[in-house]
């Protein structure tokens, strides 16, 4: 209680930001699953002890926004408890001070919080290089804050950053993992859709939808559609009958790597949301380039990333070169990340031909998680990061922290996947709510 992260193997806790991060990231999961006592204890802790002035080191602006701001915004929308709005404002007001530190209007990757933010940033080196995922993911949370407070300053700041980022996107419509905020340009020529890039693409379409598909946001939709076309034209291949989105250096097709990050599996769900809102051929599109058809094939590929080894867990990076996809050497770790079950959840709710298919995949995954990620000798359900997947379930070992996204996302998506109600009913019904990249949902504006 009050520590950032929990190590379930050692039974110890540690701090990263010193803000009780796991609590903030778990609030809506607690409410969703009706853990009333745990929610009340969390609220009490926040009311008495949560202060963003306690952060006294450089911290990741991206992780703070998606986990803490995202978590508190959703808690406020679910409970109308002003505690969460006030705390979210406290954090965002501090973060706002870092938006003007570079010409781009985007906050640095690492920021100071608390007192004298500008002074401390000037006295200490702050990198001006960030990633499109980090600079391009705040719009949902900050526009939500403007909506909830009636103060436009959060939306104005984040929209300015987003414009710099989008104006810098090369004519290829593909972004590289490095965005230099001094001259607002993308550096390098590595192309991928995984870490550092992923949620930039994801948030384009989500923001277009959540704020009412307004004319002012048309640029987000157009950028999304062009990027999706470019991603499939450049990085998609069929390998042993599986559709994958690999990686390569721009202009060097021979450098293509037939592999996918676990993180890259955010894409099927994002395509399905686009289709639900009429893009890419809509829900019933069956053309080769239609979003639902592509989402279906990618979901199969993502699920196959969990099936290649007897352990039934996907690694951080999966190679599709072998007949059966397997984790790459040195990448056979499973952090209980959400992206594959996230894809199953969206497809189950959105694909008109879903039947029981995605639930069955989810059941198989859940069974293996319970079997292999369960810490030996600990109480039932005590799950942890699992190492040495290639060694087989007899030789895996557990360790490290339980990332807060396991509680915010992975368990939430499993829980909602197994909810039998259609997508227009039940908690976080998809026609009324939109998730941020950490699975914290906000109400879709009219
Ligand atoms: C989460 O914090 C978010 O989903 C983020 O967009 C990417 N990485 C993790 C989960 O894998």
Q: What is the pLDDT of residues 341-363, one digit of tens each?
A: 999 999 999 999 999 999 999 99
Give the Å distance between the CA of 446 and the centre of ligand 1.
Answer: 27
> Global pTM?
0.98
Give the Å distance between the CA of 437 and the centre of ligand 1.
Answer: 7
For the question of residue 37 being annotated catalytic, the response is: no
The mean pLDDT value for 265-287 works out to: 98
Nearest-angstrom CA–CA distance, 210 and 80: 20
pLDDT for 301 equals 98
pLDDT for 326 equals 98
Selected catalytic residue, list 110, 247, 261, 339: 339
The mean pLDDT value for 41-63 works out to: 95
Ligand 1 atom having least distance to the Cα of 202: 6
For the question of residue 376 being annotated catalytic, the response is: no
| Residue 437 CB less than 6 A away from ligand 1 | yes
| Residue 199 CB less than 6 A away from ligand 1 | yes
For the question of residue 198 being annotated catalytic, the response is: yes
Confidence band (pLDDT; 50, 70, 90) for 189?
A: very high
pLDDT for 56 equals 77
| Residue 405 CB less than 6 A away from ligand 1 | yes
Residue 274 confidence (pLDDT) above 80: yes
Nearest residue by C-alpha to atom 9 in ligand 1:
405
| Residue 147 CB less than 6 A away from ligand 1 | no
Ligand 1 atom having least distance to the Cα of 335: 11
Give the Å distance between the CA of 51 and the centre of ligand 1.
Answer: 24
Selected catalytic residue, list 316, 368, 409, 438: 316
Residue 118 confidence (pLDDT) above 90: no
Confidence band (pLDDT; 50, 70, 90) for 181?
A: very high
pLDDT for 31 equals 98
| Residue 337 CB less than 6 A away from ligand 1 | yes
The mean pLDDT value for 409-418 works out to: 98
pLDDT for 446 equals 75
Selected catalytic residue, list 159, 198, 225, 348: 198
| Residue 338 CB less than 6 A away from ligand 1 | yes
Give the Å distance between the CA of 263 and the centre of ligand 1.
Answer: 7
Give the Å distance between the CA of 404 and the centre of ligand 1.
Answer: 10
Confidence band (pLDDT; 50, 70, 90) for 61?
A: very high
In sequence order, what are the residues at sequence separation of 6 or more whose Cβ sits closer than 8 angstroms to the Cβ of residue 21?
4, 5, 67, 68, 404
Residue 57 confidence (pLDDT) above 90: no
Q: What is the pLDDT of residues 193-226, one digit of tens each?
A: 999 999 999 999 999 999 999 999 999 999 999 9
pLDDT for 45 equals 98
Share of the chain above pLDDT 70, in %: 100
| Residue 438 CB less than 6 A away from ligand 1 | yes
Confidence band (pLDDT; 50, 70, 90) for 2?
A: very high
For the question of residue 63 being annotated catalytic, the response is: yes
Q: What is the pLDDT of residues 219-246, one digit of tens each?
A: 999 999 999 999 999 999 999 999 999 9
CA dihedral 272, 275, 279, 282 (to 10 degrees): 150
Ligand 1 atom having least distance to the Cα of 337: 11
Nearest residue by C-alpha to atom 11 in ligand 1:
337
Ligand 1 atom having least distance to the Cα of 409: 4
């Amino acid at each position: 209680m009050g520590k950032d992260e929990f190590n379930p193997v050692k039974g110890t806790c540690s701090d990263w930001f010193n803000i009780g991060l796991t609590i903030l990231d778990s609030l809506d999961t607690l409410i969703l699953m009706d853990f009333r006592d745990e929610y009340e204890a969390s609220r009490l802790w926040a009311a008495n002890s949560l202060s963003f002035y306690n952060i006294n080191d450089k911290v990741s602006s991206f992780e703070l926004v998606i986990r803490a701001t995202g978590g508190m915004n959703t808690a406020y929308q679910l409970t109308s408890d002003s505690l969460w709005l006030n705390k979210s404002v406290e954090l965002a007001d501090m973060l706002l001070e870092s938006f003007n530190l570079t010409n781009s209007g985007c906050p640095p990757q690492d920021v100071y919080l608390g007192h004298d933010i500008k002074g401390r940033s000037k006295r200490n080196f702050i990198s001006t290089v960030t990633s499109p995922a980090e600079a391009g993911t705040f719009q949902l949370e900050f526009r939500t804050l403007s909506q909830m407070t009636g103060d436009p300053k959060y939306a104005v700041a984040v929209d300015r950053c987003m414009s710099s980022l989008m104006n810098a996107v090369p004519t290829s419509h593909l972004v590289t993992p490095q965005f230099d905020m001094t001259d607002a340009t993308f550096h390098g020529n590595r192309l991928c859709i995984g870490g550092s890039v992923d949620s930039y693409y994801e948030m384009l379409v989500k923001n277009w939808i959540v704020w009412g598909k307004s004319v002012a946001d048309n640029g987000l939709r157009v950028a999304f559609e062009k990027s999706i076309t470019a991603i499939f034209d450049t990085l998609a291949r069929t390998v042993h009958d599986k559709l994958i989105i690999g990686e390569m250096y721009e202009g060097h097709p021979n450098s293509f790597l037939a592999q996918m990050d676990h993180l890259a599996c955010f894409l099927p769900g994002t395509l399905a949301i686009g289709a639900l809102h009429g893009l890419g051929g809509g829900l019933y599109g069956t053309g080769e380039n239609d979003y639902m058809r592509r989402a279906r094939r990618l979901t199969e590929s993502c699920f196959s990333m969990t099936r290649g080894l007897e352990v039934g867990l996907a690694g951080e990076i999966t190679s599709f070169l072998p007949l059966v996809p397997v984790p790459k050497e040195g990448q056979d770790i499973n952090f209980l990340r959400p992206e594959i079950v996230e894809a199953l959840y969206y497809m189950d709710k959105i694909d008109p031909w879903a039947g029981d298919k995605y639930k069955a995949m989810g059941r198989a995954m859940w069974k293996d998680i319970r079997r292999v990620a369960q810490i030996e000798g600990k109480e039932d359900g005590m799950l942890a990061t699992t190492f040495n997947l290639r060694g087989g379930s007899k030789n895996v070992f557990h360790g490290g922290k339980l990332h807060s996204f396991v509680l915010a996302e992975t368990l939430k998506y499993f829980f909602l996947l197994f909810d039998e109600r259609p997508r227009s009913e039940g908690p976080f019904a998809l026609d009324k709510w939109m998730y941020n990249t950490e699975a914290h949902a906000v109400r879709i504006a009219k």
